[in-house]
Amino acid sequence: MSYIPMKPLLRYATANKIAHGAFNVNALCQADALIEAHEQLRSGVIIQVAEPGTGYLGGNAEFLKSTLDQKKLGAKRIADHVRKLAEQTKIPVVLHLDHGRTFESVKAVIDAGFSSVMIDGSAHPYEDNVELTREVVKYAHKYGVSVEGELGVLGGTEDDVFAEDSCYTNPMTVVDFFKKTGCDSLALSYGTKHGAVKGDHVKLRNEIVIASMENMRHEHIEGALVSHGSSLVPQYIVAEINALGGAVGGKGVPVEQLQSVIPCGISKINIDTDIRLATTRNFRELFVSNTQYQKDEVWQRMQANKSDFDYRNYLAPYIDQIVTGNYKDEKVKKYVQLMQNAVKEIALTATVYFGTVGDAFAFAHDSMEQCAKQYKTK
Ligand code: G3H
Ligand code: 13P
Ligand code: ZN
């Protein structure tokens, strides 16, 4: 059993200039696939669920409108499932909340058993972000749960990265934020963007990462730096989707740029869009090559909105089976396989690209209880 917080995993990654892919899931079967893929490459695994994802797992197909109770139910479902899986594997397993927005929603997943959380206060004024993050850290660290914060607004494109009104993260503020909040890791705005359309001229500002790390070292701050919005949007997958009747577009972060920022100090790289794209390609492939499946509502939904590649929408008719793992229909069993293959394709390539192959047993798997003690004695 190596169910661990994020901190020990990222501490090792930062020290060794490698980065972990962190993969967004919205269904139980995807967690199994992520663990299998990482077992194969003997790497630690970060399974993450964004707040709307907890609502989906709680049974609400309109996940953007989920209630706190639905999020609690979803968080419990995925946490119970992942903890059970973690008992059966030797690789370290982290379950992380992605983009938690409020203290209540973060508390809900900690109470459900997550080992790591993000509190994204980046939309708030600086002092409010500090206050909210500090409040979350206080609660989370009691249980040894790691905390990721966010500074700066993602998706910016400016020439003068250090301009006063830049929406990029100010490396001078990074130290202040770590000191005031006590968080373990920080998501930076340095040129990445969420979603499939990141633009034709993505330019990561490595200097922001370098300056942040240097400032942290000067002040003896042990923390990890995180890259959101980092999907590669593989063009072979985009082309395959469109050849199979889809209508998606977009370009991602060039892999060489991500690889070049890792030695500067990025140790966690978030990937969601690529999983959605690979899943959508797999579904289209099935429906196009096996026309008997086309009677299913999933295909009608995909055809009604050919540019949508969020599998949560077209799988809505089967949400109950997908989020409970109780697969009554044969076709749902088939869909589960497609979802799992997609997650594996993306996770395996990212793990090789970002250098974490073989790191699973290279560091101590400090448990939540051990981390809680370490925070107490600090
Ligand atoms: O950064 C956000 C993730 O891509 C999660 O997406 O909010 O649609 O679940 P979501
Ligand atoms: P992408 O949309 O680039 O996959 O980013 C995912 C992410 O940052 C999740 O927090
Ligand atoms: Zn993100």
pLDDT in tens, 56-95: 999 999 999 999 999 999 999 999 999 999 999 999 999 9
Model confidence at 155, in pLDDT bands (50, 70, 90)? confident
**pLDDT tens digit sequence for 22-34:** 999 999 999 999 9
Q: Which residues have their alpha-adjacent CB atom under 5 A from ion ligand 3?
A: 228
Instruction: Give the separation between CA 49 and CA 75, rounded to whole angstroms.
Output: 9
Residue 270 Cβ inside 6 Å of ligand 2? The answer reads: yes
Is the predicted pLDDT of residue 166 greater than 90, yes or no?
no
Q: What is the pLDDT of residue 69?
A: 98
| Separation CA 314–CA 283 (nearest Å) | 10
> What does the pLDDT average to over 307-318?
98
Q: Which long-range contacts (CB under 8 A, 24 or more apart) does 59-65 make?
A: 59/319, 59/320, 59/323, 61/312, 61/313, 61/316, 61/319, 63/26, 63/312
Angle at which helix 273-289 crosses helix 297-304, to 10 degrees, equals 120
pLDDT digits (tens, 9 = 90+) for 181-205: 999 999 999 999 999 999 999 999 9
pLDDT digits (tens, 9 = 90+) for 237-258: 999 999 999 999 999 999 999 9
Could you say which ligand is closest to the alpha carbon of residue 272?
Answer: 2
**pTM for the full model?**
0.97
Phi and psi at residue 135, to the nearest 5°: -65, -40
| Per-residue pLDDT, 163 | 67
In this structure, are residues 270 and 48 in contact, taking their beta carbons and an 8 Å threshold? yes
Atom of ligand 2 nearest to the CA of 228: 8
Average pLDDT over residues 265-284: 98
- How far, CA to CA in Å, does 220 sit from each of 175, 266, 317? 10, 17, 52
To test ligand 2's pocket by mutation, which of 190, 228, 251, 257 has the most ligand atoms within 8 angstroms of CB?
228
CA of 39 to the centre of ligand 3 (A): 25
pLDDT at residue number 144? 98
274 catalytic? Reply is no
Burial of 105 (0-12, 13-18, 19+ CB in 10 A): buried
Mean residue pLDDT of the chain comes to 96
Distance 168 CA to ligand 3 centre (A): 15
Q: Would you give the distance in Å from CA 83 to the centre of its chain?
A: 18
